[in-house]
Amino acid sequence: MSIRMIAISGLLLTSSQTWSQQNLPNPAPSQAAQVTQAQQIQQVEINGAQTDLEASRELAAGKLIIGRKKIADSGVQSVTDLLKREPAITIGKDGRLSLLGLPGYTQILVDGLPAVGKSPLELDLSEVEQIEIVKSTIAETGPFGIAGTINIVRRKHLRKNQQQLNLGAISTGGRFGANGSWTLSQFSEDSPLSLMINASAQKSLTPGSAQDTQILVTGSQVQAQFDARRLSLSRNESGSVSGEIVYKTDNGSLSFKPSSGQVNLDKRNEEQRVWADGRLLQITQTSSGALGGYQLPLNWLYESDEIGEINADLRWDSGQIRNNSSSMLSAQDGLAGNGLRREEGHDDSRGWLFAINHQKRLSGGHRLKSGLQISRDQHDINNAYWLNGVTDTSLAALGTKAGSSEKKWRLFVQDDWRVDKTLAVNAGLSTQEQSLDLSENNLVSQSRFRVWSPSLHISKKLESDQRRQLRVSLARSFNAPDSGQLMLQPSINALAPCTLIAGCAANTIDTADTSGNPALQPERALAFNLAYEHGLSRDSQVTLEFYARQIEHKIGKEIVLAPVPWSGVPRYVQRPANLGSASLQGINLDWRVAARDLWPSSPRIDLRGSLGWAHSALSDLPGPDNRLDGQLPWRAKLGMTYTMSDMPLKIDVDANWLPGDWLRNNLTQRTYESHRSTLTANGIWTVNPQCRLVLSLDNLLAPDTQTVHEYFNTDSTVRTSTQKANYARIGLRMELKL
C-alpha cells in the first residue's frame, strides 16, 4: 500500500471517529454549561504542576518534553547522554542520535533556531532548560525535519540567587580527562535587572585500534592483497562562557545572551600495511583543528491580553575554523609516492539572523502562531597545500580560495485548536526560500529553491479514559544539501596521493578522492505517522506508532571514475548524488512505566525502552540490502531507574541492541556492520541537599565490531574487512550547590 493511501486512510479513520462523536444527538446545554465548556476548551496552558508526560498529552503534534527537573535528576552531563535514555531516540552503530533511525533526517535546533558553532548535542546540561522532541514536521520548526525535530531550549534565568559547581574526571581505555561547569544567578528584589553566568570546560583523550584485511575476488579466485594495523589517539579540549542580562518590564522582558566558545581537536593516526608480495607501506597522519566563535543574541518578549505574545530574536555570530594536517607516506621500495604532504585550511564565517514570532489565544479554543525568519551567512575559505616542503600545484585548477554566501527567509502560520476536551488539531503551513552562491577560483555555481510544507496533526482522546488517545500526522518535508556537499574542492586520498614527480596518477576504487556536487537537489518527502498512546498514570505510558516516509531525490554517495581538474588521468571520486526515490515503513513500541503504577507495593523502579521494526528501499539501487543509511530491520532499547528507599542512592541502567546487516551504499559499494550492543550504568549518591556524587559507566561489555566494505569493479570485487576495538568509559563527578 502506498504512503498516500495509508495517509488518506488514516485521516479518514480519524475524521470518521470525530464526525460520529460530533453528530450524536445530545440535549442542548444550558448557558452555564456552555460557559464552563468554553473555559475548559480555553484551558490548555502547560503549568509547573504537570509532569512532562502530561504536558506532552495536551499537544496535538505529540511533542515529547524533557523538563528541567528530569534534566537535573538525570545525573548525566551532556545533551547526548540524556537523549540516549529516551525511548523515542535511536542510537546508531556510529553513535549518532536520531529519530526513527534516520540520523541524516533529524533536525536539531537551539531555542527554535538553527544552531551555529559546535554541535548542540555536546552542550553541557547546566546550560539547558528543557528539550522538545517531535517525530514529524510542524510549521513552527520549519520544513526540514523529515524524521522529526529535536529542539534544545537553553537555560533561562530565574529571579533567584543560586550558584552551582560541577567537577568531574573521566577515563576512556585508560586515558584520563576532566570536565567542569559553573553557573551563577543573581538578582535583587528592588531591581528589574538580573544576571546569569555559565562557564564550562572539558578535556578528553580517546584511543582507537583497528585491523584491516583486504582480498581481491575475481570469479572463483581469491587473492590476498594486504594486512594492516591502525592506531589512533584523539585529544578534545573545549571551553565556553555564556551569560544573560535580563531587564524585566511590566509586559515582558528584554535580554542579552552573549556566548563564546573554543574547541580544539588533535588527532594522530598510524597505519602499517603489509602487502602479500612483501611490500611494506607506512603512513602517519596528524591533524589539529580549532573551532572558535561568539554569538551576540538579543531577545525581546512582550505579552498582553489584547495583542498576545510577541517574541523577537536578533543574533549576530562569527566563527573561525582552523585545520592543519600532515600525512607522511613511506614505502619500503622507495617509490616516488614517498613524501610529506601538509595542508592548512581557514574558514572564517559571519552571519546574522532575525526572527519574530507571534501567538495569541482566540475564542473557540484556537491558539494561532505565526512567524518570520530571515538570515544571511558568509564563509571565506583559504587553503594551502605543500608536498615535501614545496607548494603543491596539483589542486591549483580549483584555486586555494573559495567562498559562499547564503540567504534564507521563512514564513509560517500554525493553528493549535483545542476543539473540545477530547479532540485537538494542529494545522500549519511553512515556506522557505534559500539561495546559495558558491565561488571556487573561476568556477561559480548557484543553488536556488523554494519549498512549501503543509502539516496536519490530530489527536483524539478516548472518552472512557483521557490518558488514552490516537494521534495521526501528515506532513510535507524536505532536506536541503549544505555548502560542503555542493563545493567541488576535493580531498585527496592519503593512500593514493599526488607526487612531485608523477603528479596525480590513477587511484583505485577503494582509495577514492572525495568531492562535492554543485548539481545536488534537495530531498522531498511525504511523512505519515499514526500512534496509539495508552497512559497508565500521570507519568507512565505505552505508545505504539506506525510511520511511513516517501522520499524523492534521495541524497546518497556514489563512486565514479571520471576526469578531474586535479589529475591528467581519470580518478575514482566519491561524491554526493541524488539516488532516485526511497520508501520507508516502520513500527515502534515505546514505554515508560513506573512499577508502582502496576504494583503499588513494589520498589521504586521505573522502566523505559523501545522496540522497533522497519523496512526501507531505494529505487535506483539493487536489493536486497538497498535500505536507507542507519535504518536497521530492528532495534531494541531497555532502561531502568531504581531509587533505594533506605539509602540516598539512585541507579540507572540502559542497554541498546542493534543487529548486524548489509547496506548497499551505491552501485559500486556495499557495507556490512556487525551487531552492536552497549550497556551504560549510572549511580547518584545524594550526600546532602547541597552535594551529590555521580558515577557513570559507559560502553560496558561492548565487543569488538566488524565492518566489511565491498567495492565492485567490472570483473572483480575488492573486499576490505576491519576489526575495531571498543573501549569502556568511566566517569566520576561531584555536583555542589553553593
Q: Which residue has better confidence, 413 or 115?
A: 413
Stretch among 18-22, 661-665, 667-671 having the lowest mean pLDDT: 18-22
Q: State the chain's mean pLDDT as an integer.
A: 86
pLDDT of residue 502: 63
DSSP label at residue 62: -
Nearest residue to 437 via CA among 467, 409, 405: 405
Percent of the chain with pLDDT over 90: 54
CA distances (Å), 612 to each of 375, 590, 615, 637, in order?
Answer: 38, 8, 10, 9
What's phi and psi for 431, nearest 5 deg? -135, 140
Partnered with residue 227 across adjacent β-strands are: 213, 274
- pLDDT tens, position by position, 698-720: 988 777 899 999 999 888 999 99
- pLDDT tens, position by position, 315-338: 999 999 999 998 887 776 544 456
- pLDDT tens, position by position, 551-584: 999 998 899 998 888 888 899 999 999 988 999 9
What's phi and psi for 16, nearest 5 deg? -70, -40
Q: For residues 176 and 169, is the Cβ–Cβ distance under 8 A?
A: yes
Nearest residue to 358 via CA among 413, 298, 408: 413
pLDDT at 10 over 80: no
pLDDT at 480 over 80: yes
Q: Which domains does the chain have, with CATH numbers?
A: 3-23+31-737 (2.40.170.20)
pLDDT of residue 591: 95
pLDDT of residue 51: 78
- pLDDT tens, position by position, 579-609: 889 999 999 999 999 988 888 888 899 999 9
Partnered with residue 476 across adjacent β-strands are: 526
- pLDDT tens, position by position, 28-62: 444 444 444 444 434 344 444 677 777 777 777 78
Q: Provide the whole-model pTM.
A: 0.86
Partnered with residue 162 across adjacent β-strands are: 185
Q: How is 302-345 classified by DSSP, letter by letter?
A: EEETTTEEEEEEEEEEEEEEEEEEEEEEEETT--TT-EEEEEEE
pLDDT at 117 over 70: yes
Q: For residues 461 and 430, is the Cβ–Cβ distance under 8 A?
A: no
pLDDT of residue 13: 35
Where b means 16+ CB within 10 Å and e means fewer, 403-442 reads bbbbebbbebbbbbbbbeebbbbbbbbbbbebebbbbbbe
pLDDT at 399 over 80: no
SS (H, E, C) 654-723: EEEEECCEEEEEECCEEEEECCEEEEEEEEEEEEECCEEEEEEEEEECCCCEEEEEEEECCCCEEEEEEE
pLDDT of residue 260: 94
